[in-house]
Chains A and B, each alone.
Chain A
């Protein structure tokens, strides 16, 4: 150990500096990207890694990228023999990616004259289209080959020069190449910002001191998690929950977990044995998603501003059976694993955790991002339009606090589109947007209510839904009731009848039809009229 380790002041300053590098990369990406999904919904993440590919800082961006960013860097290191001036691109969910629209860039940072990288910087952004059978690359495919272009770790920049063949190879396989090129450029630029800042940091500290600080930072994150685990009861805690279906068949899909908490070692073993095999529909999660969900749950147990580093995962051992819904193998389709299955994995982890530390875990939140896509021809301009949005639901009740109504929870946090913006941009008239009263689970503390949104179509259109929690409702805890199931209905103007829509479907509707979407409420906490003695 050098003199600099175990210095609480240096550690604090170093953590702040390296986190600010990740944030600066994010600002650069946001500033220079082209597409609204990156600029406005901020669906991206940036991170900094040491020379061994261990994450030392991540910007406060998307929770679903927490565990999966490190896997991208590991995959790139494993696949490529990096030299100075190289930069890798990848999106293959089976080699460091999550789902195809998430494209990751990895840049090795070399100090002058070195042959091995001293650091890596990386960023990931959700692209609006990466080809495949369905516009937007998020459709109901049944194999990964139909979901879009699949990029293994590949050098897109070699020795400082962009490999035009690689770039063109990507652009020729997507629907909006002009926009993609702009976004990819922005990602490369953001990596360079990170590279410059890391080189400055290395010059300021010197590599000897910097490496000592990195070890200290990783140890520090580990200590924070172990300190939490040491206060938990020893034992095995089993929980399960279900996805309604994969959209191809009606079979429910089981996700099961066993947590083994070892407070003496400050260690946690998470085993998903017993979870369903991977399925034909696009709700399979790759291991990176499952790891992200574990990372997220551990992170939430810690103080608000704990740095998201590799150290957080050290006390964790993850078993995710190969070929299962939580660790799918090719050629399973995975688009929805990111948005729907990730939420259910969190629900299962929290349900098990609640058995160990009931006073610290909320009941289940909505558990679905309720993805809605509407496409058609806008009669005002005669041009095609495509609208995509996720709808929030109810947050689960907390011990001591009601859940919040109509808010995005867990693995996502995107903003809604203002109604006035929506009616300017699309041939819709929103008829209603409000809380879905009474949808939150009953209890001593109530689950948050879901939302109701009614959209009248002013043009013929195709409406696609990818939503969950229709059959298996968000659970309550400590005797609290379940949140209400989600639902969607269409009122046909011509026939004057109301038709219910399944959670995963694509339907052609006519001008004047009204789609009503109701999102699930959160589960309740505690039995009504009791004071839940014995929980502390």
Chain B
């Protein structure tokens, strides 16, 4: 049996297949020890012997955000000890004279230089003496480091010295991360940063994952644990423990995979994902068949991570974002958030108006169905406090409607960044809305962007867990080679090495995967690369593909210009067994059986009688017209007037946006 478990801030989502049907259990997270909720979920879903647990973990992210990782020693080429702190010498905020210094995960006294040098061509110019390495070992020990990161200049071109240092430091009994293993690619700062992040997370992730594996094995004979990577593939917990840098955005990656699979089943190919949470909102653009693009420029908690991750854009506004009027009298929403504590006013403790409060006073939160009615919402208190904060606006409703318009404008801007600014027209996409707040705001957002259709998957609150359940086993290998384009025909040796590495590692897991080969190319003199597929039978096609992609992305291409082969990439994939969900026949209906109430909801300047439906009671073929609210345990879908929702054969809501705000 395979069970996927996604740990979130509030809930731990647990899903599995039982006789071809998805089963979902939601339990409260146990932040002190996330594995408690996980083990409970496995028990509740009846994971017996040989259970295969797939985990989306926040341990890495939280360790970064809370800065509670290990004391890391950083070893590099002498003369470059500070490069890990200097970074790219630019400042994050242009106009803030009081910005805090950027975070460096390595304390100054733990930055060590070794007298060694490798040239750009991989030639060993200077190697350190054994005595120097012995002294280094003592210095790292004396500094009471809990983990070590080694990243020497050009070590990807010649790792011999890095390997010697690695062997030497292994005598300390602390996790040692070496850059030629973690990210063997050029650009010293990004490679070193990825290696340091890995070391920073290693001790905690190792103890967390090995304890988890042990407990699963104790409770379920033959049980095993896998983890989700930020790049959208599954790796064994054993690998995740050694390379934790690959798991820092484990949960969100599950959301991307889940959105793609659900959209593919529903018959939509080009999607924009929209996941609105409490403090922030993630958006991404993907082809449901081939997945989202990956980026190597992700930054987590202010630190570049370097390893490939799904390209998710985050806007600093969510349900908990606080509204205020600034010194010039303009309404602003976020980035400050009420978070879980004190939370929005309507939850009883918060005192400042949030997006959630605005939804509440406009009738868009259904107190009865919200979290199964488990949270009391205080209407009187909310109205009173919002009245005090509404500034010059005439009514609380105008204030609340204003908050929603402003926050939706910010989300619109975030979606424009990933679509319009990258040359895509939103009108050609389907908006896939999930997370707690996505379905509530999706329709008006789609109308503003002229996106014709919104898909609210069945179980929108468990989409990350579903994605994790369905993801493929994936391992990524890469190496910078920096060769002229004319060498394209002669890459088989280098690719062979990467592939052998992949085949060996997969074999150890009992997988037989396929290798996806690709190359990062650029015109000589450029400072950025484009990744294109590499076909060993027809290597020249990579060059053609590069020109075509360059033209699409940047508007021009020049076949006469000399090219460079920067890095080779091999992605080993062992596909999950295919799953085809059961489609039920559509029986035309109006959802009458699911109707639970009629209440007043505010739209465009006034309250209107609005029908409330229970999502679980809607049946395939039902069509519901706006204005309506479709409520379920962790989310509610708001259907403005003019919008029309149909339930498809899989239980998804497919919403036709109509002419709202058009």
Q: Which residues of A contact B (CB under 8 A)?
A: 6, 8-9, 11-13, 15-17, 20, 23-24, 27-28, 31-32, 34, 36, 39-40, 60, 63, 182, 186, 189, 220-221, 223-224, 227-228, 296, 299-300, 302-304, 306, 360-362, 391-392, 398, 400-402, 404-409, 413-421, 423-425, 429, 431-435, 451, 454
Kindly list chain A residues whose C-beta atoms are within 8 Å of the C-beta of B579: none
Of B190, B328, B391, B410, the residue contacting A221 (CB under 8 A) is B328
A419 to B421, CA, bound (A): 30
Query: A-B pairs with the 10 shortest C-beta distances?
Result: A9-B402, A27-B421, A432-B79, A32-B555, A434-B82, A392-B89, A8-B331, A224-B328, A40-B527, A423-B120
CB distance from A93 to the nearest CB of B (A): 23
Q: How far is the CB of A395 from chain B (nearest CB, A)?
A: 8
- Cα(A8)–Cα(B406), bound, Å: 10
Is B409 positioned at the interface, with any CB of A under 8 Å from its CB? yes
Residue of B nearest to A302 (CB): B95
Q: B330: which A residues are within 8 A, CB to CB?
A: 8, 11-12, 15, 220
Nearest-neighbour CB distance to chain A for B122, whole angstroms, equals 12
Q: Is the CB of B555 within 8 A of A423?
A: no
CB-based nearest B residue for A193 = B420
Tell me the B380-403 residues at the A interface (CB within 8 Å).
391-393, 398, 401-402
Report whether A31 and B556 are in contact in the complex, using a CB–CB cutoff of 8 Å.
no
Q: Which B residues are CB-close (under 8 A) to A304?
A: 93, 95-96
A41 to B: closest C-beta gap in Å? 9
Q: Is the CB of B392 within 8 A of A408?
A: no
* A361-B97 CB under 8 A given contacts A13-B409, A40-B527: yes
**Interface assignment of B116: CB less than 8 Å from any CB of chain A:** no
Known A8-B392, A9-B393, A12-B406; contact A420-B329, beta-carbon cutoff 8 A = no
Neighbouring B residues of A360 by C-beta, 8 Å: 97
By the criterion CB–CB under 8 Å, are A418 and B420 in contact? no
The CB with the most chain A CB atoms within 10 A, among B85, B90, B413, is that of B90
Task: Give the CA-CA distance A362 to B119 in the complex, in Å.
Answer: 42
Interface stretch of the complex, out of B181-189, B367-375, B509-517: B181-189
Alpha-carbon distance A395/B189, docked complex (angstroms): 21
- Contact partner of A300 (CB less than 8 A), chosen from B96, B153, B328, B417, is B96
Could you jot down 20 A-B contacts, CB within 8 Å? A8-B393, A11-B329, A11-B330, A12-B402, A20-B413, A27-B417, A27-B421, A302-B95, A360-B97, A404-B91, A404-B99, A405-B101, A406-B85, A413-B91, A415-B89, A423-B120, A423-B154, A434-B83, A451-B86, A451-B89
Q: How far is the CA of A6 from the CA of B391 in the complex (A)?
A: 12
Shortest B283–chain A CB gap in Å is: 14
Least Cβ–Cβ distance between A486 and chain B, in angstroms:
15
Which B residues are closer than 8 A to A by beta carbons?
79-83, 85-86, 88-91, 93-102, 117, 119-120, 153-154, 186-190, 325-332, 391-393, 398, 401-402, 405-406, 409-410, 413, 416-417, 420-423, 482, 525-528, 553-556
Q: Chain B nearest CB: distance from A43 CB in Å?
A: 12
Contacts of A16 in B (CB 8 A): 406, 409-410, 413
CA separation between A28 and B555, bound complex, in Å? 10
Q: Which residues of A contact B528 (CB under 8 A)?
A: 39-40
CA distance A11 to B393 in the complex (A): 13
Q: Determine the distance from Cα of A15 to Cα of B423 in the docked complex, in whole angstroms.
A: 23
Alpha-carbon distance between A400 and B98 when the two chains are bound, in angstroms: 9
Whether the pair B391, A414 counts as a contact (CB closer than 8 A) is no
B5 to chain A, nearest CB (A): 38
Asked if A416 meets B89 with Cβ closer than 8 Å, knowing A404-B101, A431-B79, the reply is yes
Q: Which of A23, A400, A406, A424 contacts B82 (CB 8 A)?
A: A406
Taking CB as reference atom, which chain A residue is nearest B661? A204
Contact B86 A418 (CB under 8 A): no
Closest B residue to A219 by beta carbon equals B328
A residues less than 8 Å from B401 (CB atoms): 9
A8-B393, A12-B406, A418-B186 given; A31·B554 CB < 8 A: yes
CB nearest neighbor in B for A303: B326
Q: Out of B90, B391, B423, B527, which one reaches A31, CB within 8 Å?
A: B423
Decide if B421 touches A12 in the complex (CB within 8 Å).
Answer: no
CB distance from B603 to the nearest CB of A (A): 16
Contact status A220-B328, CB under 8 Å: yes
List the A side residues contacting B393 at CB < 8 Å: 8-9
Among residues of A, the one whose C-beta sits closest to the C-beta of B101 is A404
The smallest beta-carbon distance between B235 and chain A, in angstroms, is 28
Q: Residues of A contacting B154 with CB < 8 Å?
A: 420, 423
Q: Is the CB of B421 within 8 A of A23?
A: yes
Q: Choose one: B80, B153, B555; the contact of A434 (CB below 8 Å).
A: B80
Kindly state the separation between the CA atoms of A9 and B416 in the bound complex, as whole angstroms.
21
Q: Given A9-B402, A32-B555, A406-B86, A300–B187 Cβ distance below 8 Å?
A: no
Given contacts A189-B555, A304-B95, contact A435 B188 (CB under 8 A): no
What is the CA–CA distance of A300 and B82 in the complex, to the nearest angstrom?
Answer: 29
Pick the contact of A36: B402, B413, B482, B526 (CB < 8 A).
B526
* Cross-chain contact A418 with B555 (CB below 8 angstroms): no
Verify B86–A435 contact, CB threshold 8 A.
Answer: yes
Pick the contact of A9: B90, B406, B417 (CB < 8 A). B406
Q: A433 vs B76: C-alpha distance in the bound complex, in angstroms?
A: 12
Besides A16-B406, A408-B90, 7 new A-B residue pairs in contact (Cβ under 8 A), listed by A number:
A17-B409, A361-B97, A398-B97, A420-B187, A424-B186, A433-B80, A434-B83
**Bound form: Cα–Cα A32–B423 in Å:** 11
For residue A32, which residues in chain B have a CB less than 8 angstroms away from its CB? 554-556
On chain A, the residues within 8 Å of B553 by CB distance are: 31
> Would you call A421 and B186 a contact (CB within 8 A)?
yes
Residues of chain A lying within 8 A (CB to CB) of residue B89: 391-392, 406-408, 415-416, 451
* Cα A333 to Cα B391 with chains together (Å): 53
The reply to whether A24 and B555 contact each other, CB–CB distance below 8 Å, is no
Q: How far is the CA of A398 from the CA of B555 in the complex (A)?
A: 44
Q: Which residues of B contact A36 (CB under 8 A)?
A: 525-527
* B331 cross-chain contacts in A, Cβ below 8 A: 8-9, 11-12
Residue on A nearest B81 in the bound complex, by CB: A434
Shortest A421–chain B CB gap in Å is 7
B83, B86, B187, B556: the one within 8 Å of A34 (CB): B556
Which residues of A lie under 8 Å from residue B99 when comparing CB positions?
404
Partner of A435, one of B82, B332, B391, B410: B82
Identity of the chain B residue whose Cβ is nearest the Cβ of A28 in the assembled complex: B421
Q: A417 to chain B: which residues have CB within 8 Å?
A: 527
B88:A415 contact, CB within 8 angstroms: yes
User: A414 and B525: CB pair below 8 A?
Assistant: no
Shortest CB-to-CB span from B161 to chain A, Å, is 15
Residue contact A419 to B328, C-beta cutoff 8 Å: no
Kindly report which residue of chain B lies nearest to residue A223, judged by CB atoms.
B328
Q: How far is the CB of B298 from chain A (nearest CB, A)?
A: 17
How many Å from the CB of A33 to the closest CB on chain B? Answer: 8
Assess whether B101 is in contact with A300, with CB atoms less than 8 Å apart: no
Give, as a whole number of angstroms, the nearest-CB distance from A522 to chain B: 12
Cβ of A8: which chain B residues have Cβ within 8 Å of it? Answer: 325, 329-331, 391-393, 402
Query: CA A420 – CA B80 in complex, angstroms?
Result: 12
Distance, CA A431 to CA B80, complexed state (A): 8
Q: Which residues of A contact B405 (CB under 8 A)?
A: 9, 13
* Complex alpha-carbon distance, A182 and B409, angstroms: 34
Q: Which residues from B are CB-within-8-Å of A34? A: 556
- Complex: how many Å from CA A424 to CA B527? 11
Point out the residues of chain A lying under 8 angstroms from B80, CB to CB: 419, 432-434
Contacts of A17 in B (CB 8 A): 409
Report chain A residues within 8 Å CB of B102.
404
Structural contact, B327 and A224, CB atoms closer than 8 A: yes
Q: A420: which of B186, B327, B328, B554 is its contact (CB, 8 Å)? A: B186
Would A362 and B406 be within 8 Å (CB), given that A31-B554, A418-B189 are in contact? no
Taking a contact as CB atoms under 8 Å apart, the answer to whether A13 and B406 are in contact is: yes
Q: Is the CB of B100 within 8 A of A416?
A: no
Chain A residues near B328: list those with CB within 8 A: 220-221, 223-224, 227, 306
- A residues near B119, Cβ cutoff 8 Å: 423, 429
Residues of A within 8 A of B325 (CB): 8
User: Quick one: which of B329, B330, B391 has the most chain A CB within 10 A?
Assistant: B330
